[in-house]
Structure 1
Amino acid sequence: MSRKILIIEDDQTIAELERDFLEIENYEVTIIPDGKDTRETLRNNHYDLILLDIMLPSINGFELCKEIRQETDIPVLMVTAKHEDMDKVRGFGLGADDFIVKPFSPTELVARVKAHLARYERLVQHEKPPGVLHIGSLEINPSSRQVFVDGKEIPFTTKEFDLLQFMATHPNQVFSKEHLFEKIWGLDAMGDNSTVTVHIKKIRKKIEKDSTDPQYIRTVWGSGYRFNS
């Protein structure tokens, strides 16, 4: 069964270039030139990955990425003409999985799509996922990829969940930002260690009673982060 890719791109030339190279690899590709109807599109169709342009006519890619994360946790690769670190930090913070900077190599595009699809499949189709974790008022369900605080479900992006699950299943160990970035995003991901800081901050806001004095994820100054069991 072919993997389905959704391209959200208003530049027809770029969209068709992306489509052509992905179709050569037997992916089924849909192109929409505007992000305003994305939610309805996602609710009515199944996709395995999204290529999302940042500069769109009716809504910017950052806002759209945030909306997409309310509908699905499939990989989102943002395509940008900019090469600004702050754009990457912002995008990762909103749930993007990777960035592709224009002009890009079609070969690199296909390679990144394949890598993220394979990684996502490994995460969600684990044959024997670990059991539900209960730590204080926190509940983490690896099988359903859900997080509950005091019995209330809290929405998590793919990378937020991966990071929280990894740390929660390795309690009382100190991990550097470099180690966490490599573990969760992989060696080939674009970005830097500040991405980890952004995600830790967002996770704390979601699970901690006081994110300035966290109970679960503690900063070990000069070393990294530790999850307290």
Structure 2
Amino acid sequence: MSTILIIDDDKDLCELLRDYLAAEGFSVESVYNGLDGADQAISGSYTLVVLDVMLPGINGFDVLRKIRAASKIPVLMLTARGEDVDRIVGLEMGADDYLPKPFNPRELVARIRAVLRRMEATHETQSNTGRIIVGDVELIAGTRTVLRSGEKVDLTTVEFAILEILLRQVGKVVSRDDLVKQGLGRTLTAYDRSIDVHVSSLRKKLGPSSGQSERIKTIRNIGYLYSAAM
């Protein structure tokens, strides 16, 4: 059974989500402040964290920073509706997905299941020790390692998934729809820019090619392409 940790100071919401998620087969625990939440999240006792941005003491971004310094546990952030900046910052800091408040609990369950499916797919991939080498970038599936010119590049689970998809189809355009389905495990919805934020973060971490050209090219109104010419 997957165990979900909810970090949110809204006790009524935590109680509602605990009941709803329990009915969906999840084990749920709640923490109402950021400091305790960060400590519990990195304890190794949980499968996924649901993290609110607005918390007393330290906010959700500080909690996420503490979690990412010690763990790669999937984190789904809850943001205020309309706060696009919060969503972008959260994704750039390593959140796996976000959901704006208020939300339908069914949507939360769908997002959680999508993240967990992506985790399972990643674990299955780890049994494959195959390598993908494009220019100065090497992706090693078995150990989930990415090297650029021999130096390790630290990627989030989502960024690794997106890069693997693009490298396996190097020189070909991958639509945003396909990247969201394969990389995020869900369907692209209107005004959802999360895939673009993940790609932007991936570009920054990989840097330009040896020829100073963009590795991941944007194909306007379609998707992205990892350039074969390096």
- TM-score, with normalisation over the residues of structure 2? 0.83
Secondary structure, aligned partner of 2:198: helix
Inter-partner Cα distance in structure 2 for 1:184 and 1:99: 14
Inter-partner Cα distance in structure 1 for 2:190 and 2:69: 23
Which residue does 2:66 correspond to in 1? Answer: 67
Inter-partner Cα distance in structure 2 for 1:140 and 1:40: 31
Inter-partner Cα distance in structure 1 for 2:97 and 2:42: 23
Superposition CA RMSD, Å: 2.8
Which stretch of the first structure deviates more once superposed, 32-41 or 54-63? 32-41
Give, in angstroms, the shift of residue 87 of structure 1: 2.8
Which residue does 1:15 correspond to in 2? Answer: 14
Give, in angstroms, the shift of residue 139 of structure 1: 2.0
The one-letter code matched in structure 2 to 1:81 is A
Which residue does 2:119 correspond to in 1? Answer: 120
Which residue does 2:155 correspond to in 1? Answer: 156
Inter-partner Cα distance in structure 2 for 1:7 and 1:164: 29
| Equivalence map 1:1-229=2 (5 Å) | 2-126=1-125, 129=128, 131-188=130-187, 192=191, 194-209=193-208, 213-214=212-213, 216-220=215-219, 223-229=222-228
Render the CA deviation track for 1:125-144: whole Å, top value 9, x for unaligned: 24753612223332212222
- Structure 1 residue runs of 4 or more that deviate by more than 6 Å after TM superposition: none
Distance 1:179 1:117, change over 3 A: closer
Aligned residue-pair number: 228
Give, in angstroms, the shift of residue 35 of structure 1: 1.7
Inter-partner Cα distance in structure 2 for 1:48 and 1:187: 19
Render the CA deviation track for 1:179-215: whole Å, top value 9, x for unaligned: 4334322444667453333222221221225699435
Inter-partner Cα distance in structure 2 for 1:115 and 1:19: 19
Ranges in structure 2 where 5+ consecutive residues have no aligned partner: none
Inter-partner Cα distance in structure 2 for 1:94 and 1:214: 25
The question of whether the paired residues in 2 share the 8 Å contact of 1:181 and 1:193 is answered with: no
The one-letter code matched in structure 1 to 2:143 is S
Inter-partner Cα distance in structure 2 for 1:164 and 1:19: 35
The question of whether the paired residues in 2 share the 8 Å contact of 1:205 and 1:211 is answered with: no
Which stretch of the first structure deviates more once superposed, 4-13 or 111-120? 111-120
Secondary structure, aligned partner of 1:162: helix
- TM-score, with normalisation over the residues of structure 1? 0.83
The question of whether the paired residues in 2 share the 8 Å contact of 1:52 and 1:61 is answered with: yes
Inter-partner Cα distance in structure 2 for 1:71 and 1:189: 30
User: Aligned residues: percent identity?
Assistant: 36
